[in-house]
Chain A
Amino acid sequence: EAQVTQNPRYLITVTGKKLTVTCSQNMNHEYMSWYRQDPGLGLRQIYYSMNVEVTDKGDVPEGYKVSRKEKRNFPLILESPSPNQTSLYFCASSWRGRGHTNEKLFFGSGTQLSVL
């Protein structure tokens, strides 16, 4: 089954403790992205990747890191989480990259992160 898999589904942590949220897709998609969703603010893009070893900042990248060493994986790293990073996070992928705007994004089920 074609899907985007995020783990964990729920995560509670404390301020300053490094964490990684994993994202994997099995559709051979070139494009992958991370979003955070907060009440009243919709989905805001954190980072995106056009292909392996190619990443770029979205609208709200501060406090986050990503890497794209393999095509299927795009982990989101919080080196020193803070309470304002408490949010619902979504990973997404699509198979079209540069030069295409008509891609269809596939989303994961989300990771609810709470930073105490």
Chain B
Amino acid sequence: LAKTTQPISMDSYEGQEVNITCSHNNIATNDYITWYQQFPSQGPRFIIQGYKTKVTNEVASLFIPADRKSSTLSLPRVSLSDTAVYYCLVGEDTGRRALTFGSGTRLQVQP
């Protein structure tokens, strides 16, 4: 099972770019990296997913180095509504399908 490590919290200001890094040293060959966003009292919501290099969608970018032992979620020009907890999740391909979330990174965006 690929364990993930993220910073507990981060602070930013509106309009800035935010980069949240997740460490996953034991990532398996077939694992994908997925990021979720969670607002208080709501279920997590899918943001972005990638396997290697760079992935970009309308919400964020995901950077994955060649060794895949870490990944960085990049949120361009954050707003107050981006204040949330962000989880990095690494999929497991053993057939067991247990998916473990870490404690996540609490992002606080200030005006």
Q: Which residues of A contact B (CB under 8 A)?
A: 4, 31, 33, 35, 40-45, 48, 50, 56, 58-59, 88, 90, 92, 97-110, 112
Answer yes or no: B93 CB below 8 A from chain A CBs: yes
Please report the C-alpha to C-alpha distance between residue A59 and residue B97 in the assembled complex, in whole angstroms. 11
Asked if A40 and B99 make an inter-chain contact with CB atoms under 8 angstroms apart, the answer reads: no
- A108 to B41 Cα, complex, angstroms: 11
Kindly provide the distance from the CB of A93 to the nearest chain B CB, expressed in whole angstroms: 11
Q: Does residue B111 face the partner (Cβ distance < 8 Å to A)?
A: no
* B83 interface residue (CB < 8 Å to A): no
Given A59-B100, A105-B36, A109-B42, answer yes or no on A43-B87 (Cβ-Cβ < 8 Å).
yes
CB of B81 closer than 8 Å to a CB of A: no
Task: Give Cα A57 to B37, complex, Å.
Answer: 25
The distance in angstroms between the C-alpha atoms of A85 and B44, with both chains bound, is 20
Contact A33 B99 (CB under 8 A): yes
One digit per residue, 1 when the CB lies within 8 angstroms of any chain A CB and 0 when it does not, for chain B 86-107 equals: 0100011101111111111000
Count of B interface residues, CB-CB < 8 Å: 27
Pairs A-B, 8 closest by C-beta atoms: A107-B43, A101-B91, A43-B101, A42-B103, A102-B32, A101-B93, A104-B46, A42-B101
- Are the CB atoms of B91 and A103 closer together than 8 Å? yes
In the complex, are the beta carbons of B34 and A104 less than 8 A apart? yes
Contact call A48/B103, Cβ cutoff below 8 A: no
> Which of B46, B92, B93, B97 is in CB contact (< 8 Å) with A31?
B97
- Distance in angstroms from A101 CB to nearest chain B CB is 3
Contacts of A33 in B (CB 8 A): 99
Known A90-B43, A110-B43; contact A97-B87, beta-carbon cutoff 8 A: no
- In the complex, the answer to whether B95 meets A101 with C-beta atoms within 8 Å is no
Q: In the complex, are the beta carbons of A56 and B99 less than 8 A apart?
A: no
Q: Which of A48, A88, A90, A99 contacts B99 (CB 8 A)?
A: A48
B97 in contact with A97 (CB, 8 Å):
yes
Contact at B91–A43, with CB atoms within 8 Å? no
